[in-house]
Structure 1
Amino acid sequence: MRSFIKFLTLTLFSFFLNQAAFAAEHGTAQEAEAMVKKATAYIKTKGNESAYTEFNSVTGSFVDRDLYIFVLDLNGKILAHGANAKLLGKNLSTLKDVDNKAFIEELLTIAKSKGKGWIDYKWPNPTTKAIELKSTYFEKSGDIIVACGIYK
């Protein structure tokens, strides 16, 4: 009986330890919202070009674990992207995820009508390289949209 209790205790301890490690690797919804607000303020104080340079830096202050900032104009053109420089300058307005969801179009529509919000879609996680469910928080600021997503 004691062996079973020891085994159960170690199993539970290992489970909770793994859960804590998993949570530490991933950003939260609150962290994503805070990063968007910080990025928007950074743009206002530093200007677009300086801010975009910082957002594009994978070692910059706007990349944290699997959280990163991306910025697009109101037509869907990527102006900054903290995880994939190959997307810079590309218009992604017609981009669809693996489930054929036109998530950028949805993001643009909500940003123009409500100013901010969340969208869900599937996207490659830059740390795991796997396609994962992602929720992105975004805010319209003037003629741009600043966004940061979390992987679920």
Structure 2
Amino acid sequence: MNFWANPLFLIIWLVIGLIPVADAQQQSRPLPAVAEKTKAIVEAVHAFVNVHSNDMSTVQHALQTHPDFFDRDKNLYVFMHCYNIEKKEAICCGQAVRPELIGKNMWHLRTPNGRLLFYEIARMIEKEGQGWIQYDWLNPYTNTLQTKCSYLKGIVLKDGRKAWVGCGFWQKK
């Protein structure tokens, strides 16, 4: 039997053959402007923390005041956590909007739908070093639950602790 003459085989071959093309097109699609800005903020903070992580009070001050580290018009702000998977720790070590969270272990904090977000982030950073994650979170600007899409990047601080810096944008409902 000639497989090429069989219409079912031809359809399956075309579908399987086109899937990688669709994936490649999706991966090469540019990020929306707010996502590009979010990623640029994380990259800028990452470079700053890499130089100044021996003085976390300077880092915290910069997270709240440096104009390259936030975008008030788009409600973009930076957060930073030191983590240790074995100890089940995700200690907030930098927060631009809610500095009262600094020093708190947020490892066991769950999203409204039950996800252990900080565990997920730590695993992603361990495996990939950086990446995007989407989750539901309380928007501190509107005090409403919204979907947030955050870009995070891992870093090792000068004192040897593992950490990530992140920034996210709020998706419109």
What range is the shorter-chain TM-score in? 0.7 to 0.9
* Within-5 A mapping of 1:37-116: 37-47=43-53, 48-49=55-56, 50-55=58-63, 57=64, 59-61=65-67, 62-65=69-72, 66-75=75-84, 76-116=90-130
Q: Give how far 1:106 is off.
A: 0.3
> What is the Cα-based RMSD across aligned positions, in Å?
1.5
CA distance in 2, matches of 1:46, 1:112: 22
CA distance in 2, matches of 1:111, 1:51: 21
Kept in 1: contact 2:153–2:165 (CA 8 A)? yes
Task: Indicate if the aligned counterparts of 1:125 and 1:132 stay in contact, CA closer than 8 A.
Answer: yes
- Give deviations 1:83-120, integer Å, cap 9, x for gaps: 11121101111111111111111001100111011111
Equivalent of residue 34 in structure 1, options 32, 36, 40: 40
SS in 2 for 1:74: strand
Matched, 1:135 2:146: no
Measured in 1, the distance between the counterparts of 2:140 and 2:34 equals 16
Structure 1 alignment gaps of length 5 or more:
1-26
Letter in 2 for 1:42: F
SS at match of 2:103: coil
Report if aligned partners of 1:103, 1:119 keep a CA contact under 8 Å in 2: no
Q: CA offsets, 1:39-77, max 9 Å, x none?
A: 01111333442122211x2x4422312111111012310
Counterpart AA for 1:115:
G
- Distance in 2, matches of 1:86 and 1:51, equals 15
Shift of 1:126: 2.0
CA contact (8 A) 1:124 1:130 kept: yes
- In 2, the alpha carbon distance for the partners of 1:34 and 1:52 equals 18
Q: How many positions carry a matched residue from both structures?
A: 124
Q: TM-score, normalised by structure 2?
A: 0.67
Q: Answer yes or no: is 1:119 the counterpart of 2:133.
A: yes
Offset of residue 135 of structure 1: 1.0
**Structure 2: gaps (5+ residues):** 1-32, 85-89, 157-161
Following TM superposition, by how much is the alpha carbon of 1:139 offset from its aligned partner in structure 2, in angstroms?
Answer: 0.5
